[in-house]
Homo-oligomer: A and B are copies of this chain.
């Protein structure tokens, strides 16, 4: 299977497959005489795994760890759970940050008249030096 098919089958773009190979996340596959990469079914499984992990927001280094656990028959599910929990905490942190922005911004938008006049609480907020609780 060439890289195009592998990309379509796994949901990972050809570009990213090459990238993952270059950073060592996936092993370098066999090549045809012409130099084309050829993928086996288990390579596709690995790519699918990566794709799903990316959908959940895991970073590439985390996915490296997950892949190692995946191919380890003696893994303890608590290790997987710990990594996932760590990522969950990170997601919560990011969501919290964005929601804090969202909250302030929404209030400012609500308070803004949105007319032809220049007066605007949003601008005032941005230019005000201090006292922003």
Contact = CB atoms under 8 A, between A and B. Distances in A.
Interface of A: 45, 48-49, 52-53, 55-57, 66, 69-70, 72-78, 80-82, 84-85, 87-88, 91-92, 94-95, 98-99, 101-102, 104-106, 108-109, 112-120, 122-123, 125-129, 132
A88 B73 CA distance: 46
Nearest to A48: B129
A27 to B, nearest CB: 17
Contacts of A82: 114
B88 A57 contact: no
Nearest to A11: B129
Contacts of A122: 77, 80-81, 84
